[in-house]
Amino acid sequence: MTRRRRIGLTLAVLVGIFVLYEVATSIIAYTSDAYVQSDLVALAPQVTGRIVGVHVSDNQNVAQGDLLASIDPVPFRLAVDQRQAELNETHAQLTADRDTIAAAQDAFASATSAANYARETQARAASLATAQDVSRADLEQANDALHRAEAALDVARAAIARAQSTAAMHQAAQVQSAAALAFAQWQLGRTRLTAPTSGTVTNLTLRVGDTAQADIPLIGIVDAHAWRIIANYKQNYLRDFAPGDTAWVWLDSEPWRLHRAKIAGIARGISRNPTPGRLLAYVAPTTDWIRLQRRFPVTLTLVDPPADLTLYMGADARVLILP
């Protein structure tokens, strides 16, 4: 075989391999860049206090509502008692205010009656003084009595307004005290940390005696209802994918067993910047120092997974899709 023929045969073989690869990849979309994913629920307390009880262990399965840990409730119970006492005090103040208003209204009614009588007396005295049937001193006495009766009426009216204003202030204090009591009761209820979802406790380091800080996560739970497979596919495959398409998944944690899956979603964008904290996923364009095409995450969910299947968040997987 001449050298020219060997070169030609080699080129023919390479072209054949390339053609077979293109044909195969147009029929079968395979990737080993896939992994198992779920949601990690970071449970953070809503109040600050000392941990007095840890009721779960690391890697324990929990159901939604299970008690996980307890914060010392004593300071919060004392706060509830204090707020309850303040609310009781405002109730007592409002009762006294109602009695004060009632007494002021009775005094106003009496002052109104006295003022009306004084007006009638003054009018009669003025009429008789015109006819010179009463003395000037009697008229002045009637006028003075009327002035004093009207002044007493103004005082009684002001007393009612003052009592009502005080009652309104105490009514606002009652509302404020009721809100403070409700908040204290809410804080007391948050001393029991319960599981927000069913799942598995992971990487538990919480111990009795630790101080729980509000809004700082203490316990992580891998959500049992959010399992999915994230497969990073080259961009040239995406046009042939659609939600609902069938896929086959090989889990490295359970080799030699294929699981049927469905495409749940296809990412519409990725970040080209590895800076963390972005809303777009970042998929590294290199692996083992080899630069690859840009890959986009495709989310898959298992179809009727076996009851004995155990999934591990972050475990490797391999995915095969027949577009």
What's the rounded mean pLDDT across residues 91-116? 86
Which residues pair with residue 204 across a beta bridge? Answer: none
Q: Are 232 and 31 in contact (CB under 8 A)?
A: yes
Written in H, E and C, the secondary structure of the chain is CCHHHHHHHHHHHHHHHHHHHHHHHHHCEEEEEEEEECCEEEECCCCCEEEEEECCCCCCEECCCCEEEEECCHHHHHHHHHHHHHHHHHHHHHHHHHHHHHHHHHHHHHHHHHHHHHHHHHHHHHHHHHCCCCCHHHHHHHHHHHHHHHHHHHHHHHHHHHHHHHHHHHHHHHHHHHHHHHHHHHHHHCCEEECCCCEEEECCCCCCCCEECCCCCCEEEEECCCCEEEEEEEHHHHHHCCCCCEEEEEECCEEEEEEEEEEEEECCCCECCCCCCCCCCECCCEECCEECCCEEEEEEEECCCCCCCCCCCCCEEEEEECC
pTM of the full structure: 0.77
For residue 290, the model assigns a pLDDT of: 65
Instruction: Convert the pLDDT of each residue in 82-97 to its tens digit.
Output: 999 999 999 999 999 8
**Residue 309 predicted with pLDDT over 70:** yes
> For a pLDDT cut of 90, what percent of the chain falls above it?
52
The pair of structure tokens assigned to 44 is 């953070």
- The mean predicted confidence, pLDDT, of the chain is 86
Q: How far apart are CA 273 and CA 275, in angstroms?
A: 5
Q: What is the pairing mode between strands 49-54 and 228-234?
A: unpaired
Task: Choose the weakest-confidence range: 120-124, 239-243, 256-260.
Answer: 120-124
Q: How far apart are CA 58 and CA 204, in angstroms?
A: 5
Q: How far is CA 202 from the centre of its chain?
A: 22
What's the rounded mean pLDDT across residues 177-202? 96
Closest CA to 265 of 225, 226, 299: 299
Q: Which residues contact 81 (CB under 8 A, 6 or more apart)?
A: none
For residue 291, the model assigns a pLDDT of: 67
Which of 21 and 141 is assigned the larger pLDDT? 141
For residue 219, the model assigns a pLDDT of: 97
